[in-house]
A = this chain, B = another copy of it.
Amino acid sequence: MNSEPRLAQSLVEPALAEAALFVESTLDALLPRTVGPEQRLLKAMRYAAIGGGKRLRGFLVLQSGRLFGVDRRALGRVAAAVECVHAYSLVHDDLPAMDNDDLRRGKPTVHREFDEATAILAGDGLLTLAFGLLAEPDAHGDPFVRCDLVARLAHVAGHAGMVGGQMIDMEFEGKMPALPEITRLQRMKTAALITYCCEAGAIMGKASQPLRSALCNYGQELGLAFQIADDLLDAEGDAEAMGKKTRKDDGRGKSTVVSVLGAERAHAQANALAAQAVRHLDLFDEKADLLRAAAEFAVTRRA
């Protein structure tokens, strides 16, 4: 996988940048804006969701939907919903009672910029908004599809996915979980939503079960590879390029694939996962080349 990292980069970076612009403008249009006594909340929701982030998740929704010719406006809406869920999870994970982080995407975290109560509420508002975006007709003409999008999102975001993963992450602090336990945690905390992004395009395109499963499997391996790459960047990267504090895991006594396997074997593991992810796309023609390149990009990126 590592043979042509620059090719992957040259393919993926402009597509990611284009997706980021599209997702940002969609979020800007969909996020509320009023001048009532609740405007502090709405400002915090915008602050959390707009203006930053790689938008890898939105990109994956757009690309997976493109495989089935799904309408781009609808994809933008679903991508925005996913980015709202991602943003909510960052806001809540950053809270003093959780990871207590001051910096995110190169700016103060929401509870630092506003306050703790506003951050909790902004997260709640973004999560709730996401479900509303998916349930309304603009997300898809077929209500079966919309229900599927909502039900699957609730599954990957809830106790069996992201929320459960964050709980486990906190429970493991200062402990020495084994690799399978860490992998289960990462599947729930990170890979579940990334998998959902890839599945969403298939749901919206009413893909056959084999194609939908292939995209799920791709997303699952990609998500795990992405998380290991993230942990490597945390261990080796510099805070300025990352836009957030680095070497946090060590300081907090968090076990990661990197701390258990060491950097070299973790690199190899991430590459192996990315290669597996690409193999799951064998059912697709060259339309899936950007997704293939994204798997490589996920493990070779520098921020």
Contact = CB atoms under 8 A, between A and B. Distances in A.
Highest count of chain B CB atoms <10 Å: which of A32, A121, A127, A128: A128
A128 to B, nearest CB: 4
Contacts of A36: 164, 168, 184
Given A97-B117, A135-B147, A143-B146, A124 B45 contact: no
A299 to B, nearest CB: 27
B150 A131 contact: yes
Given A116-B97, A157-B128, A181-B37, A150 B135 contact: yes
Contacts of A236: none
A98 B119 CA distance: 11
Interface string A123-165: 1110111011011110000111011101101110111100111
Interface of A is mostly: helix
Given A135-B151, A160-B32, A168 B38 contact: yes
A237 to B, nearest CB: 26
B117 A132 contact: no
B164 A125 contact: yes
